[in-house]
């Protein structure tokens, strides 16, 4: 759930409050990697790029084992991110009322003691495991290997107005972005034009490919930059499919 708090007075800035409702969550050993991986990556990206906009990340309806997972995961998260996380206890409904007005909070939070939440928000539908991704992405993908402490490129030529589409799957954490240049031999990202956000930490290994597409604004060389500079030992393997249409 995402709440945006508008400015109360002229000159004040809006802020964003993320609320994670863990109602019905059951323990799974993969929860730790989820917290330190995907969720950490998203929260870190938001904090790095929109630090002044993020009010906090709030966890409600948390089962008892979350405190154990959090004690392990907390030191692994960027300080800026972990300082914005709040885990509310049994009185979380009252705690939420100190952060947001009840009109914007979901009515399914109401119980026999508190009946003030007004927003008509539906709970998320449970995803059937039968719908989980099962395709063999590697079958038609190419492979890029990046040594520990290094970065590398995949260069693709495209014309203006063409559609550049890609899907990637990695065996570990990596950073990546896409740049434009007229010179296919240019490997200096500082001299290139950035055409896609820089993601400094995408968690891996990935179970499902990450796909994206952009419309090319110029004719030239589009360079996909992949970094494994954070690693000391592990070689990064990026399996990718890139198409120009």
Q: Range of 147's domain?
A: 137-244
What average pLDDT does this structure show over 117-133? Answer: 86
Edge-to-edge strand list for the sheet holding 15-21: 2-5, 15-21, 54-60, 85-87
Distance CA 196, CA 120 (A): 36
Last residue of a domain, one of 95, 123, 151: 123
Assign residue 90 the CATH number of its domain. Answer: 3.40.525.10
Give the model's pLDDT for residue 39: 67
Peptide bond into 155 cis (omega under 30): no
Distance CA 243, CA 158 (A): 10
Distance CA 72, CA 177 (A): 30
Q: What is the pLDDT of residues 217-242, one digit of tens each?
A: 999 999 999 999 988 888 999 999 99
Last residue of a domain, one of 73, 88, 123: 123
Residue 116 lies in a domain: yes
Predicted confidence band at 35 (pLDDT cuts at 50, 70, 90)? Answer: confident
Domains contained in the chain, number = 2
Tokens 């059937």 sit at which residue? 128
DSSP bridge partners of 199: 176
Q: Which residues of 214-235 are buried (b: 16+ CB within 10 A; e: fewer)?
A: eebeeebbbbbbbbbeebeeee
Give the model's pLDDT for residue 13: 67
| 207 has a pLDDT exceeding 90 | no
Q: Which two tokens stand for residue 36?
A: 């330190």
Residues 112 and 210 in one domain: no
Distance CA 178, CA 200 (A): 12
> Which residues have C-beta within 8 Å of that of residue 117, sequence separation ≥ 6?
102, 105, 106, 107, 108, 109, 110
Residue 17 lies in a domain: yes
Residues 114 and 170 in one domain: no
Tokens 């993601």 sit at which residue? 199
- Mean pLDDT, rounded, of the chain: 85
Q: Which two tokens stand for residue 72?
A: 């392990």
Residues 59 and 146 in one domain: no
Residues 101 and 141 in one domain: no
User: Where is pLDDT greater, at 191 or 11?
Assistant: 191
User: Where is pLDDT greater, at 186 or 38?
Assistant: 186
Residues 52 and 75 in one domain: yes
Last residue of a domain, one of 62, 96, 123: 123
What average pLDDT does this structure show over 95-109? Answer: 91
User: Is the entire prediction scored with pTM above 0.75?
Assistant: no
Predicted confidence band at 177 (pLDDT cuts at 50, 70, 90)? Answer: very high
CA-based angle 83:57:229, to the nearest 5? Answer: 65
Give the model's pLDDT for residue 152: 95
User: Where is pLDDT greater, at 62 or 221?
Assistant: 221
Tokens 């063409």 sit at which residue? 162
Assign residue 170 the CATH number of its domain. Answer: 2.60.120.680
């Amino acid at each position: 759930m995402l709440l945006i708090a508008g400015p109360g007075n002229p000159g004040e800035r809006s802020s964003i409050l993320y609320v994670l409702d863990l109602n019905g969550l059951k323990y799974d050993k993969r929860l730790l990697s989820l917290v330190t991986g995907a969720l950490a990556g998203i929260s870190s990206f938001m904090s790095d790029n929109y630090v002044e906009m993020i009010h906090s990340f709030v966890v409600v309806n948390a089962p008892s084992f979350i405190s154990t997972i959090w004690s392990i995961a907390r030191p692994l998260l960027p300080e800026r991110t972990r300082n914005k996380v709040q885990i509310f206890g049994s009185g979380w409904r009252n705690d939420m009322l100190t952060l947001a007005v009840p009109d914007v909070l979901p009515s399914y939070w109401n119980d026999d003691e508190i009946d003030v939440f007004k927003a008509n928000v539906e709970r998320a539908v449970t995803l059937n495991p039968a719908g989980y991704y099962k395709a063999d992405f590697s079958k038609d993908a190419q492979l890029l290997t990046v040594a520990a402490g290094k970065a590398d490129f995949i260069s693709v030529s495209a014309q203006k107005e063409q559609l550049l589409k890609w899907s990637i799957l990695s065996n570990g954490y990596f950073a990546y972005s896409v740049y434009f240049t007229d010179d296919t031999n240019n490997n200096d990202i500082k001299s290139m034009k950035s055409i896609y956000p820089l993601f400094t930490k995408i968690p891996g290994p990935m179970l499902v490919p990450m796909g994206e597409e952009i419309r090319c604004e110029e004719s030239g060389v589009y360079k996909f930059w992949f970094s494994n500079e954070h690693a000391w030992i592990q070689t990064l393997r990026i399996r990718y499919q890139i198409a120009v249409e």
